[in-house]
Amino acid sequence: MKKWFRVIIMLVLTMSANAQTHVTKFMGIPVDGTKENMIIKLKGKGFTQPFPVELPYMLEGEFNGLKVEVFLIDNKGKMWRVVVLNKCTGENIARDTYNRLLTQFKNHKNYTQIDEADIIPETDNLITELYKNHKKYRSAFYQSVDIEKYIKEYPEFDKLPEEERGNILSSLFKEAANIDYIPKRFVWLSLDKNDSDRVFNVYIFYENKFNEPNGEDL
């Protein structure tokens, strides 16, 4: 195990050295580079531009089994946010959509929840809570590092006993979580009111905080 402790340290140092390459991804596409380049890659996944002149950076397509709208936002020519919009007609559909997404994020190995948000209970009246009480339905996650990509550099790892492999991976994930760039891979979920009657917006925000505005223009 002492040997693997040294390997763990080496892997963490390697990940730290390559921090800028570990940006947030949307559908496997890095949230980085220009909006034009992101459009090309999204079109390769079947997305289209319904209004290429009026709204050139809004696309439509299928995501996670649903038809969605995707908005691209940059800062000084570099992508920093992808916004996924699900328009939901009716409280039940909006609640179910939000709860399903939240549960999927919670259970996904590539995400770590950083708040204590939970599913919306059936007892919550969304119209009352959002319009009158101004309640916020939010949940936030860090997109995890692909630890397995690094561990593959050591083929002897697969020959170790299962328990020892588990301990090593657990240690590696724990160390990786302390690396500065992890919070830069930020993803959050939101349910908000819509100006249209009985329509609600469920958003997912994929943010590359390396590129976000930090008040430099103030």
> What pLDDT was estimated at residue 104?
97
> What pLDDT was estimated at residue 125?
94
Asked, for residue 58, whether it belongs to a domain, the answer is: yes
pLDDT value at 20 more than 60: no
Asked, for residue 213, whether it belongs to a domain, the answer is: no
pLDDT value at 176 more than 70: no
Residue 190 is classified by DSSP as E
For 6-19, write each residue's pLDDT tens digit: 666 666 656 555 55
As for how many domains the chain has, the answer is 1
For 32-91, write each residue's pLDDT tens digit: 999 999 999 999 999 999 999 999 999 999 999 999 999 999 999 999 999 999 999 899
Place of tokens 């397995």: 148
Q: Residue 80's CB: how many other CB atoms inside 10 A?
A: 21
Asked, for residue 186, whether it belongs to a domain, the answer is: yes
Place of tokens 């630890």: 147
Strands 137-143 and 185-193: antiparallel
Residues 6+ apart with CB under 8 A from 197: none
Asked, for residue 215, whether it belongs to a domain, the answer is: no
The domain in which residue 15 lies consists of 2-208
Asked, for residue 72, whether it belongs to a domain, the answer is: yes
pLDDT value at 29 more than 80: yes
pLDDT tier for residue 123 given thresholds of 50, 70 and 90: very high
For the chain, give the percent of residues with pLDDT over 90.
60
Asked, for residue 123, whether it belongs to a domain, the answer is: yes
Q: Which of 125, 126, 124, 106 is nearest to 115 (CA)?
A: 106
CA distances from 68 to 62, 63, 144, 148 (A): 6, 6, 24, 31
Asked, for residue 214, whether it belongs to a domain, the answer is: no
